Structure 1
Amino acid sequence: MRELSELIDVDDPAWPVMLEEISESVVPVDVLPVEPEHGGRCLQQLQITVRSMLGAVVWHTGGLLLDDGWLRVYGSPAADADLPGLAQVNGFPQRFEPTWQPAGGLVVAHDVLGGVFALNGADAVGRPGAPGQMVYFAPDSLKWEALKIGHSAWLAWLLSGGLEDFYAALRWSGWREEVAEVTASEGISVVPFLWSAEAQQDLNATSRRRVPMAELLGLSREFGERLGVGDPGFLGQL
């Protein structure tokens, strides 16, 4: 096991680069304050250094809120917000366990609709994409999609405005105002459901309400199995 000092005392940390990307971002980004003691435990369990963008997010932030909270990227537990940390979302052990691995991969972000971004692990059975690549669980198809990029490239894509095209079919008139009212532990339930023909024909005609994010993830799993799409596996715990 590498000690925390070995993980954070590096010559070329990623945080300055990330700060520059955030300052130049074309989307609103809120960098939440961090609780360093939790970040240290998370880094030790992952055994990654702050040379990586993932390590930088964990060590330096309590998470990132993009597009007024549409997307929540997990870091350490936020000090002044209700956004959980990466360790909680992925069920990390309370103490360092050298043999522990996240189930199939590491959930790194949720969007307000219950979509899930994850970093594929070596045992990502049933998911598309290669180990070490990002995948997305889409609430409008109840399936995982391969993004074919790594975590650092994914973050750069987010900050450069990739969300606008990616979510073009899932945003309704006035979505930003509705999202601004949602807390970091909630999401928006859309009825008829996003995977239905009715919602995909006219998203503006749907009804929407705030619900706990855990409820949205549970519904995705339930309907995936009921509709024969299959069990999506681990979607994060909140």
Structure 2
Amino acid sequence: MTKTLDELINAKEPGWPVVREWLDGANKPVEVLDVSPRRGAEVLLALQVTTRSPMGAIAFQTGGLLVDHGWVRILGGGCARMEGDLARWNGLGGRPLVEPFNGAMLVAHDVLGGFFALDGGALGEGRGAAYYLAPDTLEWERLVDSYSELVAFLLTGDLAKFYEDFRWPGWEKDVAALSPDRGYSFVPPLFARDEGPGRERRDVPMVELLGMNLELADAT
């Protein structure tokens, strides 16, 4: 049975204070994008999660979170600056970006074309663990046990170490100027052995990167 907006908004035990604690404890720049009440409500209804959960709180109260100069984008309710939201990225609502990902839920992505998803059976045991589709291996790698642990890691964990092999001098300025709906395609690709002096990169839509990486992952 589909829940109404009133049923999904939990004013007694809101999840936002928990998210706020993670934001206050972040060890890197995090930009909280604004979301319109209408759009936040639409995404919440499409997801059918309550604002008692951190996911529901982020979907309802933010357009998304840009982490570390926008290197990682945690999906929220969407906005003019970041059109992709939690509903559209999972094939839900009236304007889906992709087909539904059966057995998994996309919740964040990064500029490299890496995607973070919660397992609903397609990636592991189906218990909501967070996985990362690594563009250098084209494999879904298990990271942590839950959405909450993933968000906490992205905000307060050591992303510099996580991405240490992939950042270049001046990446902060380049990434900050990039639309959160776009990422980098590399030549040679990150999964190929690079014997040359460096990689060329061009920015492309994140939807294109997802389709390409999923197709390549299926082929390996």
Equivalent pair of 1:73/1:108 in contact (CA under 8 Å) = yes
Q: How many Å separate the matches in 1 of 2:116 and 2:214?
A: 15
Q: Which residue of 2 aligns with 1:22?
A: 23
- Judge conservation of contact 1:63–1:83 (CA < 8 Å) in 2: no
Matches for 1:1-238 after TM superposition, within 5 Å: 1-78=2-79, 80-94=80-94, 103-121=102-120, 124-125=121-122, 127-128=123-124, 130-198=126-194, 205-225=198-218, 228-229=219-220
Quote the offset at 1:102 in angstroms. 5.1
Give distance in 2, aligned partners of 1:64 and 1:117: 14
Q: How many residues align?
A: 215
**1:74 and 1:222 mapped to 2: Cα distance?**
22
Decide whether aligned partners of structure 1 residues 48 and 224 sit closer, same or farther in structure 2, where only a CA change above 3 A counts.
closer
Greater Cα shift, 166-175 or 130-139: 166-175
With the length of structure 2 as denominator, give the TM-score of the two structures: 0.88
Query: Alpha-carbon deviations, 1:134-176, whole Å to 9, x = none?
Result: 1110100111011132001111111113322211222222222
Once the 2 structures are TM-superposed, how far is the Cα of residue 129 of structure 1 from its aligned partner? 5.0
- Given that 1:92 and 1:102 are in contact with CA atoms closer than 8 Å, whether structure 2 keeps it comes out as no
1:55 shift after superposition: 0.6
Q: CA RMSD in A?
A: 2.1
Identity of aligned residues (%): 42
Q: What is the TM-score normalised by the length of structure 1? A: 0.82
5+ residue gaps, structure 1, are 96-100, 230-238
Q: Which runs of 5+ in 2 are unaligned?
A: none
